[in-house]
């Protein structure tokens, strides 16, 4: 087995989220998996969507968005405030897949994602996708109702991502402050973990973002406030650390 030479640095993909690309010195790890965790309404879907939109608009990179929880029509409508022209992008660069199981589906035994991943691979090759988002995968996997099977399917996704070379973003809800232990192992398995929090401190609501882990790269580990603007999500700096250096994105 040929080991990568030690100085191969993790190559990165810009997310277009101002501040995030700076604190990670270039964005998300290319061809690897990032886990975006957070409570309800903290911006997980926006983070994932904005990365796809940036890839599509700035670098003409196609992406697939697999929605397990919210319908894609809902997501596109909600994102209208950001002026990303998702409907337009959806025609050429972005493929939205509705993967919500309707409530009247009967479950009669164990299932797996082998079929779905094959279908996604065919679609990824067809549109030459570089990105893929699994938004709210915990909704589908909790249907398995068996932690061994859930873990097996998560590992199947990880191996599949590694094999397809796509840059993957998995979003996952955490209830309460600490990560939901049921999926705790997810954080160990992925290469990059971003934690989003939405909290109210004596009456005023704050959203913030923290990079908890980034294999193969340095990063600013502090928690940065997030603001949602019409351009999407953006980190505001916390004071002393100024974001002066800009990041080039030519090849």
Interface with other proteins by CB under 8 A: which residues?
Answer: 97-99, 101-102, 104-116, 118-119, 121-123, 140
Question: Would you give the distance in Å from CA 105 to the centre of its chain?
Answer: 27
* Of residues 85 and 110, the one with the C-beta less far from other proteins: 110
CB of 132 to other proteins, least distance (A): 15
CB of 104 to other proteins, least distance (A): 8
* Of residues 120 and 195, the one with the C-beta less far from other proteins: 120
* Of residues 141 and 194, the one with the C-beta less far from other proteins: 141
Residue 228 parent element (H or E): strand 223-229
CB of 99 to other proteins, least distance (A): 5
CA torsion angle 172 191 34 53 (round to 10) = 180
CB of 151 to other proteins, least distance (A): 16
Provide the token pair at 117: 């991943």
Provide the token pair at 98: 């509705």
CB of 251 to other proteins, least distance (A): 31
Instruction: Sort strands 129-135 and 62-67 into parallel, antiparallel or unpaired.
Output: parallel
CB atoms within 10 A of CB 128: 10
Is residue 101 within 8 A of residue 141, CB to CB? The reply is: no
* Of residues 123 and 213, the one with the C-beta less far from other proteins: 123
CA torsion angle 119 120 126 128 (round to 10) = -160
* Of residues 105 and 201, the one with the C-beta less far from other proteins: 105
């Amino acid at each position: 087995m040929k080991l990568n030479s030690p100085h191969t640095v993790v190559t990165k993909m810009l997310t277009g989220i101002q501040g995030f690309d700076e604190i990670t010195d270039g964005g998300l790890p290319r061809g690897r998996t990032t886990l975006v965790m957070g409570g309800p309404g903290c911006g997980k879907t926006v983070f994932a969507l904005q990365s796809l939109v940036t890839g599509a608009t700035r670098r003409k990179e196609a992406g697939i968005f697999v929605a397990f929880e919210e319908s894609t029509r809902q997501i596109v409508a909600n994102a209208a405030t950001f002026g990303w022209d998702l409907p337009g992008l959806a025609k050429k660069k972005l493929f939205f897949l509705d993967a919500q199981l309707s409530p009247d589906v009967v479950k009669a035994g164990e299932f797996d994602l082998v079929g779905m991943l094959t279908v996604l691979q065919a679609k990824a090759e067809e549109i030459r996708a570089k990105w893929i988002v699994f938004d709210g995968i915990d909704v589908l996997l909790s249907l398995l109702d068996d932690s061994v099977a859930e873990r097996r399917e998560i590992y199947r996704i990880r191996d599949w991502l590694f094999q397809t070379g796509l840059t993957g973003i998995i979003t996952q809800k955490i209830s309460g402050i600490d990560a939901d232990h049921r999926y705790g192992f997810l954080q160990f398995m992925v290469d990059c973990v971003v934690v989003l929090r939405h909290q109210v401190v004596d009456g005023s609501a704050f959203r913030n973002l923290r990079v908890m882990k980034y294999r193969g790269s340095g990063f600013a580990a502090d928690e940065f406030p997030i603001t949602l603007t019409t351009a999407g999500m953006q980190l505001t700096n916390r004071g002393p650390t100024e974001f002066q250096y800009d990041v080039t994105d030519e090849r």
